[in-house]
Amino acid sequence: MGKDKLKKFAELSTLPNVFQNFTWPQVSLQNCKGETVDMKGKWRTEHFKNDAPLILELACGRGDYSLGMAKVFPNKNFIGMDIKGNRIWSGAKQAIEEELHYVAFIRTRIEELACYFEKGEIDEIWITFPDPFLKERRKRNRLTYTRFLNIYKEVLKPDGVVHLKTDSTELYEFTLEMLEENQCTIFVNNNDIYHKGYEEPLLDIKTKYEKMHLADGRTIKYLKFGFV
């Protein structure tokens, strides 16, 4: 591991908007003071100090979407989740520098999501350009596979929604199959948002990867679904 990465990892543990799990498969979180904390059901009251809606971005990378959404909706709370510490460092530092106090990050595995959020604690989930895991033997890792959908259903409010934005035709079509198989409700299904148009203002936010995909001429697909 390079010195730059080591420096980022060391600083990451000191940032007040970052919580990390160092003990997988145990599920405890540590805050910037090195204390073990239980945040389940307490994100609004103990961290954000408000009762505003809670939006979660999964596989957030550098947190481009969490940061972008926070600038559009400063009256909501946003949490980005990823396992890559050096990526989270970038987003967490930017949130602090821009005084986006309603943005936080969790470094952990997404499979553990329900260990950190109470049933019905989350209002919306965003999944933007996740790894499509194209090999058949790795389909269980796709973030719209049944085992993940069951987790989302548990932590979302009854009327909560999931947003998927992807350039992968394979993941898009796979997700449609999973949604039908799990009897999910599809609210929006758009297989080419920039040519067919869209009403969701947050789709204007473009991550680093989306800009690369658009430069390559790829089409961007969007699904909005829930568990009603």
Give catalytic residue positions: 131
* DSSP for 113-133, written as a single string: HHHHS-TT-EEEEEEES----
Angle, helix 169-181 to helix 146-155, in steps of 10 degrees: 70
Strand order of the sheet with strand 156-166? 36-37, 29-30, 18-20, 103-107, 77-82, 54-58, 122-128, 156-166, 221-226, 185-190
Q: Are 223 and 186 in contact (CB under 8 A)?
A: yes
Partners of 178 in beta bridges: none
Query: In the block, which residue shows the tokens 């035709």?
Result: 169
Partners of 128 in beta bridges: 165
DSSP H helices, the chain, are 3-12, 64-72, 85-97, 113-116, 146-155, 169-181, 193-196, 208-215
Q: What are the residues whose beta carbons fall under 8 Å from the beta carbon of 217, sequence distance 6 or more?
A: none
Of the candidates 97, 52, 68, the one whose C-alpha atom is nearest the C-alpha of residue 163 is 68
Q: What are the residues whose beta carbons fall under 8 Å from the beta carbon of 7, sequence distance 6 or more?
A: none
